[in-house]
Amino acid sequence: MFDRLKKPFLTVETGEAYQPLRLVYHLFNKDALTQLFDKLDCVNNNGTDHTWNLFWKNECNELHFESLDSFHKNPDHPVRLGTLNIKDDKFYINLPSFKRACLVVPFFHSVIPHDVAIVHHVDFINKVFAVNERLPHPFTELFKEDELERILEKRVTEYHEMEKRCEHAPSAEEAFNILREYTETEGKKRFPFAERYMFDLSHEEDSDIVFLSFYIFLRGRELVAIKRWLGEMNYTVADLIDETVEEVFGSMDIDIIE
């Protein structure tokens, strides 16, 4: 652990841990999307037909990073938040941190018409990197499609099996016990190196809930990765939940009934 403290993990300009990820959008109208990018001052073509840079300026200027209240922007050299590219029928946003993804997804959801493109899933890494560590590049080295789909399918299958068990439980109490067992088991699992998160924006009125859920999901994984970096190698989401409950309710002197 002491060696880790002497070697802090890599962060990006806006203060968060470097954890690269890739947002994947279903693309329905490529021409309309490229025309939209031409109108956005925060998006600049990098000299190729299908690749752009996203900068922290103009339309993106109000995106807020809590860790940088004292950060002074340089209008002449705005921070590049990530890169955008189009390939076949997909639109990709490549970003270096979870926080940026949580800010960028709602931003583009508000500016891109939903009949032009809509976010489908995100592929991400469950670790932080040393300052001097070799970083995997490009994203194809990080994200293996077959492996990501296998992990996702297994998680979804286990969830549906739990749902069926709850539906056929002889009592509400038994259904609750099944759900609690499933939640506790999931909370203690070790994360895979790379993982996929799916979005469901089929109901526009639920978009705020979808984005909040996305933030909670990624924030939990970020905190677990940092805890492990600091030496707590067996730290899990269950530990994070226990600490959060204790911090919130313990400070309020409220007893949680088991």
pLDDT of residue 251: 53
Closest CA to 30 of 85, 110, 98, 73: 85
* pLDDT > 90 in the chain, percent: 48
Domain parsing of the chain, residue ranges: 2-143+190-250
Closest CA to 14 of 95, 83, 92, 86: 95
Mean pLDDT of the chain: 85
Give the residue, 4 or 106, on which the prediction is more confident: 106
Q: What is the pLDDT of residues 127-164, one digit of tens each?
A: 898 888 776 666 666 788 888 889 989 989 999 999 99
Closest CA to 214 of 206, 226, 224, 225: 206
* pLDDT > 70 in the chain, percent: 86
Q: What is the pLDDT of residues 164-209, one digit of tens each?
A: 999 999 999 999 999 989 888 888 888 888 899 999 988 888 899 9
Mean pLDDT of 113-124: 95
19 φ/ψ sector (left φ>0, alpha ψ -120 to 50, else beta):
beta
Q: Looking at the DSSP assignment, which residues form a beta bridge with residue 84?
A: 52, 93
The separation between CA 6 and the C-alpha centre of its own chain, rounded to angstroms, equals 27
CA separation for the pair 204, 202 (Å, rounded): 6
Does the pLDDT value for residue 4 go beyond 60?
A: no
Residue 188: what residue type?
Answer: K
Does the pLDDT value for residue 1 go beyond 70?
A: no
